[in-house]
Structure 1
Amino acid sequence: MIRVHALRTGSVFVRPSQIIGRAPFRRLRPFLERGWSAALPILAFLIEHPEGLFLVDSGESPRAMTRGYFPPWHPYFRLAVRFAIADEQAIDVQLRTLGVAPSDLRAVVLTHFHTDHAGGLAHLPPLRTLVSRIEWQLAQGVAGQVRGYFLDHLPPGFRPEFIRFDANPPAPFPRAMALTSDGAVMIVPTPGHSSGHVSVLVTTPAQRFLIAGDASYTEAALAARAIDGVCPNPRSARKTLATIAAFAEASAAAARPFIYLPAHDPDSEARLDSAISR
């Protein structure tokens, strides 16, 4: 049996223009805009498969609430984002609420290396951790910190395993990596929000789940093909959204429901619960 569980590792508040990017000055607006979004979840996802347990993203750490966790010079973390994370929302605690010891995980997949998706690694033991080579390269040095990647928050000695797109991909995705021998759990490229962004496709006999990280912030944004306000490559982001939408349409045509699970969509948990209860 294959199951997907949502793990809420806290909440984040961003400027509304980050959720749906608005021209002109799309990437500048989140720094100038007043007002905040409603609380958005910071979700990680646990996949149960007969071959083992897989974690997609690790969420953010409660340490993000402490002074000095983010560099004081960073304009985005000073002006455009706020976190609300309790100690009991750390990823290791969330796993244990499901009866899962972190050491029982077979692998962790990071959709990308932004701190609210990778910061929770500090609460996990050394594990096989898969990330795209592009993300790891972009995370290096001061330029990586500017992009929102903080390698100093990772466990000492951390080294990722790079994703190898060597499996036959499900159309229309161009490439894939199989995490399980039956191909029920696959990593697919979804660049846009970051250049090395990936998503995880979970296929069951009745449904297909796409654990989508920040491919878009909401399902509504996917439907509107609306890119976010911070992605560095709008063309790549729009192409990714079109690919996901085409996959969803193909799933519907095959009478296999498609459940879209972005990490910050307030409705992701409800969609997942509804799918599980069917």
Structure 2
Amino acid sequence: MIKVFSVRLGSTKVPFGQFYGGLDGWRGMQAVYRFATDKKHFIIVPIHAYLIDHPEEGLILVDAGINWQQTHEHGDYYRGIAHYLFDEDEYQLSREEELPAALARLGYRAEDVRKVVATHLHEDHIGGLSYLPNAELVISKDEWTNRHWKLFGFLPMVYQPSLEAARKITTIDYDAGAHQNFAASHDLTADGTVKVLPTPGHTPGHLCVLVQLDGYQLLITGDTLYTLRHLANDDVQAFGAGDWVPNQNASIRQIAELRRRIPELILAPGHDHSDYQFKHLAPGLAKGGLTPEERAAIRAYEETVFTAGGRLHPEAVPRYLPGTGADHVGRVSG
């Protein structure tokens, strides 16, 4: 039986607009400027990875989170433009949240992870590669091809020192044909129970991972969906700095259509900071899977978030709630 575990690998501090400002001027060069200068509307969001224990293929980790040096030696780790764009306290990571410790609590060793599927090559998804000496990194061909690309000619899409921890890299080109409403897919496992789907937009080669479990399917969305609420992209959109933003909206619509086609589909976002993750998804996935009762509770929760037409209920629309400290860290309503 396949098991999937939710793994919390620290947190990151982001401007509220990075997550929720896409319909409010956080687009293009203006988005980069506001990202670098807005220091009064921070929120803290978790970094989620997902561990797949496949009976034949072994351990597959989807995204790898951050590492200790990134977090606690931030100024020494980052160089060049990255050093100036990101704050020293961008990441938070305790010893208990480091990848080896998080895996050990589940009964696994970092050395036994055979593959890491990176949904994309951003820092908070590949920093933990340094803990995985035996793992093969799997990414999309488009993501690999664009790894040296620079936004507006100066902002690198990938910070190369983090990528260098990967000793073996395999690129995929979606050779398994159509799957549901996706025109292309890739079978990560020989039995077809773990598939990779192309969802470009957050980055040029972003991907999602679809896992067939007992009685339901789980879609690990990476940053195509920061949170569950981003599924309603007429109401909530993340910021978009690149030319491929329309692709992200198209990918979200594809996920929404997949959800309509597969009633038992459960979404597993990359940075959900709401009750969806912490009261519903993570507790079930802490033991490797969701019971029918837990899945029913998730559906009931979703009905409090989305209307029958897939829009957000007014009370579910995210709003920034200011904090009281000098660090300007607030929270999000709903």
* Same fold, TM-score > 0.5, yes or no: yes
Query: Structure 1 residue 108: deviation in Å?
Result: 1.1
Query: Structure 1 residue 68: deviation in Å?
Result: 1.6
CA distance in 1, matches of 2:238, 2:249: 10
Contact 2:113-2:132 at 8 Å conserved across structures: no
The alignment's TM-score, normalised by the length of structure 1, stands at 0.89
Please state if 1:182 is matched with 2:196: no
Q: Note the 1:98-177 alignment, pairs <5 A.
A: 98-140=106-148, 146-155=155-164, 158-177=167-186
The aligned counterpart of 2:34 is 29
- 1:5 counterpart SS class: strand
Go from structure 1 to structure 2 and tell me whether the alpha carbon gap of 1:173 and 1:194 turns closer, same or farther (over 3 Å shift): same
CA distance in 2, matches of 1:180, 1:43: 22
The amino acid that maps onto 1:206 is G
Contact 2:149-2:156 at 8 Å conserved across structures: no
Go from structure 1 to structure 2 and tell me whether the alpha carbon gap of 1:100 and 1:145 turns closer, same or farther (over 3 Å shift): farther
The alignment's TM-score, normalised by the length of structure 2, stands at 0.75
Please state if 1:239 is matched with 2:254: no
Contact 2:148-2:157 at 8 Å conserved across structures: no
Query: Structure 1 residue 63: deviation in Å?
Result: 1.1
Range with greater deviation from structure 2 (201-210 or 141-150)? 141-150
CA distance in 2, matches of 1:169, 1:48: 25
Q: Note the 1:16-55 alignment, pairs <5 A.
A: 16-20=16-20, 21-26=22-27, 27=31, 28-51=33-56, 52-55=58-61
The amino acid that maps onto 2:19 is I
CA distance in 1, matches of 2:154, 2:101: 27
Go from structure 1 to structure 2 and tell me whether the alpha carbon gap of 1:25 and 1:229 turns closer, same or farther (over 3 Å shift): closer
Q: Note the 1:48-127 alignment, pairs <5 A.
A: 48-51=53-56, 52-65=58-71, 66=73, 67-71=75-79, 73-74=81-82, 75-78=84-87, 82-127=90-135
Go from structure 1 to structure 2 and tell me whether the alpha carbon gap of 1:119 and 1:215 turns closer, same or farther (over 3 Å shift): same
CA distance in 1, matches of 2:187, 2:278: 25
Contact 2:141-2:173 at 8 Å conserved across structures: no
The amino acid that maps onto 1:128 is E
Query: Structure 1 residue 82: deviation in Å?
Result: 1.6
Query: Structure 1 residue 248: deviation in Å?
Result: 0.5
Query: Structure 1 residue 121: deviation in Å?
Result: 0.1
**Residues 56-88 of structure 1, C-alpha deviations (whole Å, 9 max, x = no match):** 010011211213212253343149x82111233
Range with greater deviation from structure 2 (213-222 or 69-78)? 69-78
Please state if 1:220 is matched with 2:229: yes
Please state if 1:230 is matched with 2:231: no
The aligned counterpart of 2:271 is 264
- 2:61 counterpart SS class: strand
Query: Structure 1 residue 48: deviation in Å?
Result: 1.6
- 2:81 counterpart SS class: coil
